[in-house]
Amino acid sequence: MTERISSRTMHIGELAERTGLSLRTIRHYDEVGLLPATGRTEGGFRVYAENDVERLTLIKQMKPLGFSLEEMAEILDILSALESGAAEGAGREKLAEFMERAKSQRAKIARNLSQADEFIERMGKNS
């Protein structure tokens, strides 16, 4: 069924350009239900709304922290529930667990980056 598309939508190419992600990645996120298209044109092309840019930006931010697609979907659902005021205690607790994992992973990434910087500096002294 084709949805009525408002003038405030964009095609997948614009979404890819705005987020820096490939068309293939965005299509994959649509196929697995992480970022379903807002609608489709009569020709069957995916179209997205402005809030999809924000959702995709959050997905992009979660990716380097090692969250699975299922975990990303859960986090997005919890955040959406919080924004609408419908979050329950269990959702908040789960979000706190995800936050601790994110902080731990970020610290690990920072350590790795520091080691890489030290190595690059050492190579620069010997060139």
Kindly report, residue by residue over 45-58, the tens digit of the pLDDT. Answer: 999 999 999 999 99
| Among candidate residues 40, 36, 37, the one with its CA nearest the CA of residue 4 | 40
pLDDT at 89 over 90: no
pLDDT at 63 over 60: yes
User: For residues 64 and 66, what is the distance between their CA atoms, to the nearest angstrom?
Assistant: 5
Q: Where are the domains of the chain?
A: 9-125
> Average pLDDT in the 101-127 region?
95
pLDDT at 6 over 70: no
pTM for the model stands at: 0.83
Q: 110: exposed, middle or buried (C-beta count within 10 Å: 0-12, 13-18, 19+)?
A: exposed
| CATH assignment, 9-125 | 1.10.1660.10
Question: What's the DSSP call for residue 11?
Answer: E
User: For residues 16 and 49, what is the distance between their CA atoms, to the nearest angstrom?
Assistant: 13
| Among candidate residues 80, 83, 57, 59, the one with its CA nearest the CA of residue 69 | 59
Kindly report, residue by residue over 16-35, the tens digit of the pLDDT. Answer: 999 999 999 999 999 999 99
Tell me the C-alpha to C-alpha distance, in Å, between residue 75 and each of 34, 37, 99. Answer: 11, 19, 10
Residues 6+ apart with CB under 8 A from 59: 29, 34, 35, 72, 76
